Amino acid sequence: MAMNEGLKAAFGGYTEGLLLNPDAAKRLEEKGLPVQKRVEELAKAKEEWSTKEAEYRELVARKRAASDEANRLLEGYYKLASAMVEQIVGTLGKDDPLSLEIRNWRDKMVLEALRGKKQEQPAQ
């Protein structure tokens, strides 16, 4: 199983903490590893990731807000159209062919929307 984002971030933080540990840093420096350079590389990579992650979260929030607004506006559009259908039916009469056509079309759409909805199972 692949590591998720949280585990990857934790691993990076653990590695950075290890390099910042004075005892570990001393041992690594003695073996020729440029610890300060590696710490700087990790800090730069972390900053780049953090910046992109913040941008991503902002985009997700904006997308969610735009989606909510679009859904709200669509609901208003539908309610206005529905009210106009009632007005048309009220004007022409419920038995007028155009009134019947509009109402039948709306009823078919409602049935289509209900198709596929799961029925609740009765309690046993």
pLDDT digits (tens, 9 = 90+) for 43-84: 999 999 999 999 999 999 999 999 999 999 999 999 999 999
- CB distance 39 to 16 below 8 Å: yes
Greatest extent of the chain over all pairs of C-alpha atoms, in Å: 94
Q: Is the pLDDT score of 116 beyond 80?
A: no
SS3 of 94, please?
coil
As a whole number of Å, the end-to-end CA separation of the chain is: 40
Residue indicated by tokens 């019947």: 100
List of residues 6+ apart from 42 with CB closer than 8 A? 12, 15, 16, 19
- Residue 74: per-residue pLDDT: 97
> Following DSSP, what letter does each residue of 54-91 receive, concatenated?
HHHHHHHHHHHHHHHHHHHHHHHHHHHHHHHHHHHHHH
In the chain, domain spans: 14-114
Confidence of residue 112 (pLDDT cuts 50, 70, 90): confident
